[in-house]
Structure 1
Amino acid sequence: MAICVTTMLRERGFKVTPQRLAIYNYLSSTKAHPNAETIFNDLQPVYPTMSLATVYKTMEILREIGLVQVLNIGEDSFRYDAFTENHPHVRCMSCGRVDDIDDIKAGKFVDDVASSTNYQLTGQQFYFFGVCPECQKQRKNPS
């Protein structure tokens, strides 16, 4: 995957740096939908000279070249997802966990929206909110 990222960065005129590759590799190897601060904190021990600004700039570059999507799920900071196909997300309102919803197809809904509004849709994001199974268990069995 790094070769693809390297090629895409170079083709778009961006420098290929170890930090940029590490940030993409980190994001592409998790389903946790981290924010920039989490990525920074987790990579800081390995890249002590990397700044939080580097993470934000890299995320913007990766979004621009189509390797990540930015999630705005009603928090103070954006979350990031390396799985760029359109898919819905669900956020736990108790612990903040964000999960992909893989088994739901939104095509008909999107077609209905386009048809009823006469908009030429260029994209969409679906967010659902609730309480995750782990938090539900904790509520039933408090320690």
Structure 2
Amino acid sequence: MNNLSEVFKDKKLKLTPQRIAVYKYLKSTNEHPSAEVIYKALQPDYPTMSLATVYKALKTLVEVDLVQELNVGEGNFRYDGKVCPHSHIQCLSCGKVDDIEGFCLSDLNDSIKDHTDYEVMTNQVYFYGLCKECKNNIDNLHED
């Protein structure tokens, strides 16, 4: 929480209860929820908070690098409370998104320098496959 208030103070931004709630929710989950999922999860404790407020809070949290915005190609964004460099994998069947742990792609930025005249600042790598549950369901269908 101290980091959150320090970042907002440094950026001269107001730390609202809604921004705190969205940030805490993202830090408390390994899921990669959409704004709509966050909105529904916070509704019981914040009944007057609108979906637009959630979107605005997310936009601000992304801008100050406290939250990562993911575009896994489904027409809307998902959000991640982990901002250290890591990759994601999405199930092509159920749509679940997970972190890929223990595999760092930060040296990819150095590797790519010989292939472009851009100054590479960051990267975002997505993998796609079948989660364990969906693969098991498919395997079970083939056994019948």
Task: With the length of structure 2 as denominator, give the TM-score of the two structures.
Answer: 0.91
Aligned equivalents of 1:108, 1:50: Cα separation in 2 = 41
Aligned equivalents of 1:43, 1:107: Cα separation in 2 = 34
Aligned equivalents of 1:85, 1:50: Cα separation in 2 = 29
Matched residue, 1:114: 113
Aligned equivalents of 2:108, 2:22: Cα separation in 1 = 34
Q: CA deviation at 1:135?
A: 0.7
Aligned equivalents of 1:34, 1:77: Cα separation in 2 = 10
Aligned equivalents of 2:2, 2:95: Cα separation in 1 = 33
In structure 2, do the counterparts of structure 1 residues 108 and 19 end up closer, same or farther at CA, with 3 Å as the change threshold?
closer
Aligned to 2:79, the other structure's residue is in SS state strand
In structure 2, do the counterparts of structure 1 residues 47 and 107 end up closer, same or farther at CA, with 3 Å as the change threshold?
closer
Matched residue, 1:90: 89
Aligned equivalents of 2:103, 2:8: Cα separation in 1 = 32
Answer yes or no: is the 8 Å Cα contact 2:85–2:104 preserved in 1. no
1:28-83 Cα offsets, whole Å, 9 max, x none, are 11111111000001101110000011111011111111101110110121011111
Q: What does 1:58-69 correspond to in 2, within 5 Å?
A: 58-69=57-68
List, as ranges, runs of 4+ consecutive aligned residues in structure 1 with deviation greater than 6 Å: none
Q: CA deviation at 1:110?
A: 2.7
Residue identity matched to 2:88: H
Q: CA deviation at 1:118?
A: 3.0
Answer yes or no: is the 8 Å Cα contact 2:109–2:122 preserved in 1. no
Aligned equivalents of 1:95, 1:135: Cα separation in 2 = 7
Percent identity among equivalent residues? 45
1:28 aligns with 2:21: no
Task: With the length of structure 1 as denominator, give the TM-score of the two structures.
Answer: 0.92
Matched residue, 1:39: 38
Q: What does 1:98-109 correspond to in 2, within 5 Å?
A: 98-109=97-108
Matched residue, 1:79: 78
Gap runs ≥5 in structure 1: none
